[in-house]
Amino acid sequence: MLCRLMPVLSVEEWALVASVVFAGLWSGLYCMLNLIFHKVMGAMDGPAFSAFLHGFLPVARKAPFNYICVLGLVAAPVVALIATDDPGGTAFVLTAIALVLTFCGGLLVSNRLAEPNYDRMLAWDPQQMPADWQEVRSRYFRLNWIRAAATWTSFGLFLAALVIAL
């Protein structure tokens, strides 16, 4: 019965739905991290911040959710771009821009800047904090904001592309 009520979506449209879902999940992650955790972590002294990261980062780095979302954030828009009936149309352009933002603003920043910063912070001894720990923490916060802005913008662009495609 449900199948008769739902319109049949094309591969492109399903891929855009998936793009919106994955970008939405990732956007929610950054909302929680930046709007809640940053306030909590920003109030911590050096040893408490380091101890928190020693518990949080190893788990967060290996969470299956991350791998599934990252794969979805890349694969779904690629499928949408390949499956489009209108290359060069507005939905195609918005999807392509969102994919570039996801790749450059999210994945490259994570891989090339955030991950090395995580390694640096995880090497800290909470009982003997380095003199520049606050600067490194500020870098951690800034990188999270860059990735959040890219993800939130991508989410909006994927959503707009989906609305246009429908």
- 40-62 per-position pLDDT tens digit: 999 999 999 999 999 999 999 99
d(CA 131, CA 129): 6
- What residues contact residue 76 under an 8 Å CB cut-off, 6+ apart? 15, 16, 18, 19, 22
Three-state SS for 104-165 is HHHHHHHHHHHHHHHHHHHCCECCECCCCHHHHHHHHHHHHHHHHHHHHHHHHHHHHHHHHH
Q: Which residues pair with 125 in a beta bridge?
A: 128
Angle at 39 between CA 33 and CA 40, to 5 degrees: 90
d(CA 76, CA 89): 18
Per-residue pLDDT at 134: 97
Per-residue pLDDT at 6: 60
Q: How many CA atoms lie within 13 A of 52 on its CB side?
A: 13
Average pLDDT value for the chain: 94
For residue 103, what are its two tokens?
Answer: 């790749």
Q: Which of 124, 112, 103 is nearest to 52 (CA)?
A: 124
Per-residue pLDDT at 2: 52
> What mean pLDDT comes out for the span 11-24?
96
Per-residue pLDDT at 9: 86
Domain boundaries, the chain: 11-165
Per-residue pLDDT at 141: 98
- Which is higher by pLDDT, 115 or 5? 115
User: Which pTM value belongs to this model?
Assistant: 0.90
Q: Which of 120, 147, 159, 116 is nearest to 30 (CA)?
A: 147
